[in-house]
Amino acid sequence: MEYSFYDFLKLLGSLALFLYGMKIMSEGLQKFAGDRLRKILTAMTTNRVTGVLTGVLITALIQSSSATTVMVVSFVNAGLLTLSQSIGVIMGANIGTTVTAWIISALGFKVDIAAFALPLLAFGIPLMFSQKSARKSIGEFIFGFSFLFMGLSLLQSNAPDLSHNPDMLAFVQDYTDMGYLSILLFVLIGTVLTMIVQASAATMAITLIMCANGWISFELGAALVLGENIGTTITANLAALTANTQARRAALAHLAFNVFGVIWVLCLFVPFTQGVSWFVENVMGTNDPAVAVSFKLSAFHTCFNICNVLILIWFVKFIERTVCAIIPQKEQDEEYRLRFITGGMLSTAELSILQASKEIHLFAERTHRMFGMVRDLLHTDKDDDFNKLFSRIEKYENISDSMELEIANYLNQVSEGRLSSESKLQIRAMLREVTEIESIGDSCYNLARTINRKRQANLEFTEKQYEHIHFMMKLTDDALGQMIVVVERTEHQGIDVNKSFNLENEINNYRNQLKNQNILDVNNKEYDYQMGVYYMDIIAECEKLGDYVVNVVEASSDIKEKKAS
């Protein structure tokens, strides 16, 4: 069989389509699902056992562990599943994929989900052009989902067609009599084959062909199956290439789970394979040698994955810590995660309010950090560095939106309980705090966009303008720092809010002074009108941000008064 450079380019194009589908699907999920799908998935993965069962069910239905793990990676990427929950689902996917092996053994066919990709696009395209953002996001999800499976299908069809050319693998007969070394070699062959073919089910078919033709024994076929379990993890790791840190950790957890399983089975290889052979021959009573070897391989695959899950389900936290240590969190990859209220409401409303107040303090700190990035962006010259920093600010803006929604929903849940009138007023003030802090995040993003527009127009501020912007940003930063102190709400500690009001007055006065000066400078041809527009946009946005800061401080002061009364 010839495999030309053109065929190789088609393989790369298939990979590009797959990765693009993964990206679009994840973005569509993030925009549409938000709170709703998060709750559904969280309910389905409340503990390790339900997470594993979810993985088994999904994989058994769609007949592809690769597709399940890719979806899990996209859910983690979209923030819909935590790393711990994803590990449980991935474990279940490894059991669910054994259903495919039984179907291949018994029926000799596999449902091709890629066949539904084009019809799905017929539903997705009209939604993509919808005016409603929710429908548009659903369209993006369907579009990405279709592209993802089209990419998977094309990867398989454009890879060297090993499953229909088993003669290419006849050479393996020369390496079947080297004892335990042969087993290790066949684990490696199974891994490489599955990486090439991009589907463990296709490699399983190749293994069945070789065993049925008598090229290799059941034991070496079992070694190939072990290799396939490692090789199948490549799909999720490819999907995670374009994803965030948490998604890459989920893909690595899949690899670690399967590698550990292969290691312990290799240590007990002889008794394990003998036990499976005895079960198929004596319990299932299969006499036909060709059918028996198929059932033995399927039974081995199932036993291996079930035993592996039963062992490793107790070490989910250890696996999580390990992959977190291997792939550390980069500062620019900070993920949206609530720290204090993820576990639902606490036993009393007062404790729940305390948790929410801690989360609001964290929220305020994040927006302050975001403003620091905007100040850095103003003097970032290199294109790559500028784009990275701008993308990070954009990401923080999305984090800000999500945090506002989550904290507000939590406070609304708390308010439905039995509360004193003071607590209800306190929650109302906290909701106002959250809204105003989110507005600060919007202002920071608006500042970054203005700096970006100025850069695209290839304009540069004068030294005097830079001096004024720096001073205005310093005043705004001081106001944000003072806001953090007020929001912290330390008990029995008197905090003077007048400092915040004084800073706000100073910001307002400085804005008015610069506004008048700008008109004179433009008239005197110090700089052109467009430059003055960008300049005043930044000054005005800083002043607006200062207003939001004062609103947060006022809301925090109200909360302190409610506590004191």
- Given a cut of 70, is residue 260 above it in pLDDT? yes
Please tell me whether residues 123 and 144 are part of one structural domain.
yes
Mean pLDDT of 485-504: 73
Query: Which pLDDT does position 110 carry in this prediction?
Result: 45
Give me the domain span that covers residue 247: 5-161+192-326
In a domain, 420, yes or no: yes
Task: Please give the average per-residue pLDDT across 340-351, as a whole number.
Answer: 59
Task: Indicate the average pLDDT of the chain.
Answer: 77
pLDDT digits (tens, 9 = 90+) for 213-238: 666 777 888 888 888 888 877 777 77
pLDDT at 480: 93
- Residue 280 DSSP one-character state: I
pLDDT at 550: 93
- If asked whether residues 129 and 228 sit together in one domain, one would say yes
Alpha carbon 152 to its chain's center? 20
- Indicate whether 307 belongs to any domain: yes
Q: What digits encode the pLDDT tens for the residues 311-336? A: 888 888 888 888 888 888 765 455 55
Q: Is 271 found in the same domain as 206?
A: yes
Query: Does 266 fall in a domain?
Result: yes
Instruction: Please give the Cα distance from 406 to 337 (Å, whole number).
Output: 10
Over range 37-48, report the average pLDDT.
59
Q: What is the pLDDT of residue 471?
A: 94
Per-residue pLDDT, 148: 72
What pLDDT score does 490 carry?
46
Residue that wins the pLDDT comparison between 106 and 4: 4
pLDDT of residue 28: 73
Examine residue 177 and state whether it is found in any structural domain, yes or no.
Answer: no
* Domain co-membership, 137 together with 32: yes
The whole-number average pLDDT for the span 7-19 is 77
309 within some domain: yes
For 151, 378, 475, 479, 483, the CA distances from 498, given in Å and listed in that order, are 60, 30, 15, 11, 11
- Let me know whether 438 and 317 are in one domain: no
- pLDDT attached to residue 561: 57
Which pLDDT belongs to residue 109? 39
Same domain, 287 and 421: no
Q: How would you write 312-340 as a 3-class SS string?
A: HHHHHHHHHHHHHHHCCCCHHHCCCCCCC
Give CA separation, 533 vs 469, 519, 536, in Å: 13, 10, 5
Q: Are residues 144 and 32 in the same domain?
A: yes
Q: Indicate whether 223 and 364 sit together in one domain.
A: no
Closest alpha carbon to 67 in 152, 136, 156: 152
Q: Which residues are CB-neighbours of 119 under 8 A, at least 6 positions away? A: none
Q: Which residue has the higher pLDDT, 182 or 386?
A: 386
Per DSSP, the residues of 342-404 read TT---SSHHHHHHHHHHHHHHHHHHHHHHHHHHHHHTT--SHHHHHHHHHHHHHHHHHHHHHH
Looking at residue 539, its pLDDT comes to 93
Q: Which residue has the higher pLDDT, 71 or 393?
A: 393
Query: Residue 173 falls within a domain, yes or no?
Result: no
* 405 and 506 part of one domain: yes
DSSP-derived letter for residue 281 is: I
- Same domain for 520 and 402, yes or no, is yes
Domain boundary among 307, 326, 345: 326
Task: Provide, rounded to the nearest whole percent, the portion of the chain with pLDDT above 90.
Answer: 17
Look at residues 326, 351, 385 and tell me which one is the last residue of a structural domain. 326
Nearest to 22 by CA among 112, 124, 150, 120: 150
Any domain includes 391:
yes
Q: What does the pLDDT read at residue 491? A: 44
- In the prediction, which pLDDT does 478 show? 93
CATH number of the domain encompassing residue 456: 1.20.58.220
Same domain, 495 and 470: yes
Task: Inform me whether the pLDDT recorded for 467 exceeds 80.
Answer: yes
Residue 297 has pLDDT above 70, yes or no: yes
In order of 47, 139, 247, 359, 450, the CA distances from 551 in angstroms are 41, 39, 37, 18, 24
Q: Do 39 and 155 share a domain, yes or no? A: yes
Q: Examine residue 176 and state whether it is found in any structural domain, yes or no.
A: no
Last residue of a domain, one of 326, 356, 375: 326
Quote the number of domains for the chain.
2
Asked if 556 contacts 486 with a C-beta cutoff of 8 angstroms, the reply is: yes
- For residues 418 and 315, the model is more confident at 315
Tens digits of per-residue pLDDT, 67-122?
A: 677 777 766 765 666 777 778 888 887 787 676 566 555 654 344 556 777 888 88
pLDDT of residue 33: 55
Lowest-confidence region among 110-124, 448-462, 520-534: 110-124
pLDDT of the residue at 31: 65
369 and 362 in contact (C-beta within 8 Å)?
Answer: no
- Looking at 41-55, 112-126, 405-419, 507-521, which range is the least confident one? 41-55
